[in-house]
């Protein structure tokens, strides 16, 4: 089967963050992704992410362009004329000042889908705030609803939820919707993807409840934030942990039967017995090791799963059976594994991904694909407008 997005081209002006996550998703679905990076002074750090990050650039091409030069901007304009999508993550207003903003490029290519990713959006009181994942989770209510650490502070999240789901997946979905819309309208679209907006979408169940009823979800006062013992995390005898999500009464009853705690099955949502129930469950789980409990409970309709560390995730037999990892090879770092294209519709079973040497680019090939002559390409390279 041909890749789902074969025949589409995206320009990505970001090395890291939500935009890079979005282009990673698009590349895994078969879109041609050209990473447009700034030129680097001789001897300077190119500022590239770790060789293994973002899939190690799998399926992407790279060109370095001096956006401060007229010739460099001309290269970008030529790229934009041939592209379907452009993704940028400059502070609001910067892309326009560089001569690669929406209005200028839309005039060159009316079918272009132009996606601006930022922390707080292109307008509003916070638009110029600097920020990272933790900040967006903070203003979106995610941290406010999360569990507390030993000092009573919102616990540090274990993943970059805002950048990946609130930003990268948000941008990828918006881009695909715009491309579908283009088949009807014939025209491109400007997309203002704010990571904080994406976090609001993740928090919509709680926000909608508050807006409609005035009831505010907080840690420990709602089903999904730890109010009931049937939905929580428990320690085991070997220092491991189990995630218990037995929300439905039948699943909780199954759990109680296997734990020989049937007398507590009807107390699942008794508000006056939750502390007692939590203590009883914790004492029982401390009688066996984590994996022993998993073998007894996970396949028995109890909604129990092990809390795995990263090394355990990489070795997990279920994920291995689903081809979640693939081989890769780097000229300096040798052979290793990386995440395969994991989202539905992408091809997971792939041959070895051969990574390019650090600092290399595909500039010559990209220029040829734009029908630059050999003399034009040589002049651009010699002038430093591209690298």
Do 78 and 174 sit in the same domain of this protein? yes
Q: With respect to residue 316, please indicate whether it lies within any of the assigned structural domains.
A: no
Do 14 and 159 sit in the same domain of this protein? yes
**CATH number where 96 lies:** 3.40.50.10540
Do 155 and 240 sit in the same domain of this protein? no
Residues 122-149: pLDDT tens digits?
A: 999 999 999 999 999 999 999 999 999 9
Which listed residue (132, 149, 238, 266) is catalytic?
A: 132
Among 307, 322, 344, the domain-final residue is: 307
**CATH number where 291 lies:** 3.30.1540.10
**Helix or strand or coil: residue 334?**
strand
- Is 132 considered catalytic here? yes
Q: Can you give the pTM of this predicted structure? A: 0.95
Q: With respect to residue 351, please indicate whether it lies within any of the assigned structural domains.
A: no
**Which pLDDT score, from 0 to 100, does residue 296 have?**
98
Q: Which domain holds residue 376?
A: 9-202+357-383
**Which pLDDT score, from 0 to 100, does residue 216 have?**
97
Block residue for tokens 């591209």: 386
Q: With respect to residue 109, please indicate whether it lies within any of the assigned structural domains.
A: yes
Do 90 and 169 sit in the same domain of this protein? yes
Do 272 and 372 sit in the same domain of this protein? no
Report d(CA 303, CA 323) in Å as an integer.
24
Residues 6+ apart with CB under 8 A from 209: 215, 217
Do 188 and 152 sit in the same domain of this protein? yes
Q: With respect to residue 340, please indicate whether it lies within any of the assigned structural domains.
A: no
Do 198 and 93 sit in the same domain of this protein? yes
Residues 292-320: pLDDT tens digits?
A: 999 999 999 999 999 999 999 999 999 99
Do 87 and 227 sit in the same domain of this protein? no
Do 186 and 260 sit in the same domain of this protein? no
Q: With respect to residue 327, please indicate whether it lies within any of the assigned structural domains.
A: no
Strands 325-330, 334-339: pairing is: antiparallel
Which listed residue (12, 66, 84, 163) is catalytic?
A: 163
Give yes or no for a contact between 171 and 115, defined as CB atoms under 8 angstroms apart: yes
Do 188 and 230 sit in the same domain of this protein? no
Residues 193-249: pLDDT tens digits?
A: 999 999 999 999 999 999 999 999 999 999 999 999 999 999 999 999 999 999 999
**Which pLDDT score, from 0 to 100, does residue 241 have?**
98
Q: With respect to residue 58, please indicate whether it lies within any of the assigned structural domains.
A: yes
Do 193 and 59 sit in the same domain of this protein? yes
Q: Does an H or E element contain 314, and which?
A: helix 310-315
**217: which DSSP letter?**
P
Do 161 and 266 sit in the same domain of this protein? no
- Sheet strands (E) in 15-157: 32-38, 60-65, 85-88, 113-118
């Amino acid at each position: 089967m041909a890749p789902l997005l074969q025949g589409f081209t995206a320009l990505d002006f970001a090395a890291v963050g939500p935009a890079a996550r979005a282009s990673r998703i698009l590349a895994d679905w078969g879109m041609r992704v050209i990473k447009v990076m700034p030129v680097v002074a001789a001897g300077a750090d190119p500022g590239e992410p770790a060789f293994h990050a973002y899939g190690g650039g799998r399926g992407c091409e790279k060109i370095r362009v001096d956006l401060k030069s007229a010739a460099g901007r001309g290269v970008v304009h030529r790229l934009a004329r041939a592209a379907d999508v452009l993704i940028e993550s400059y502070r609001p207003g910067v892309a326009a000042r560089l001569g690669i903003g929406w209005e200028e490029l839309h005039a060159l290519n009316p079918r272009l889908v132009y996606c601006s990713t930022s922390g707080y959006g292109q307008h509003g009181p916070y638009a110029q705030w600097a920020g990272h994942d933790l900040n967006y989770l903070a203003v979106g209510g995610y941290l406010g609803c999360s569990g507390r650490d030993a000092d009573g502070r919102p616990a540090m999240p274990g993943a970059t939820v805002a950048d990946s789901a609130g930003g990268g997946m948000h941008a990828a979905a918006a881009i695909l919707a715009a491309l579908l819309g283009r088949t009807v309208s014939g025209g491109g679209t400007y997309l203002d993807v704010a990571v904080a907006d994406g976090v609001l979408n993740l928090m919509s169940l709680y926000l909608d409840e508050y807006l409609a009823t005035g009831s505010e979800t907080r840690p420990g006062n709602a089903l999904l934030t730890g109010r009931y013992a049937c939905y929580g995390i428990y320690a085991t005898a070997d220092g491991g942990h189990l995630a218990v999500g037995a929300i439905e009464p039948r699943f909780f009853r199954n759990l109680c039967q296997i734990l020989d705690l049937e007398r507590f099955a009807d107390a699942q949502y008794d508000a006056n017995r939750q502390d007692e129930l939590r203590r009883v469950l914790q004492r029982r789980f401390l009688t066996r090791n984590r994996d022993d409990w998993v073998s007894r409970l996970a396949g028995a309709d109890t909604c129990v799963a092990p809390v795995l560390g990263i090394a355990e995730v990489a070795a997990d037999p279920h994920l291995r059976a689903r081809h979640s990892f693939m081989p890769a090879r780097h000229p300096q770092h040798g052979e290793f594994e990386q995440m395969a294209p994991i989202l539905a519709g992408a091809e997971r079973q792939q041959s070895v991904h051969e990574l390019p040497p650090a600092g290399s680019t595909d500039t010559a090939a990209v220029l040829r694909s734009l029908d630059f002559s050999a003399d034009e390409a040589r002049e651009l390279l010699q002038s430093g407008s591209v690298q």
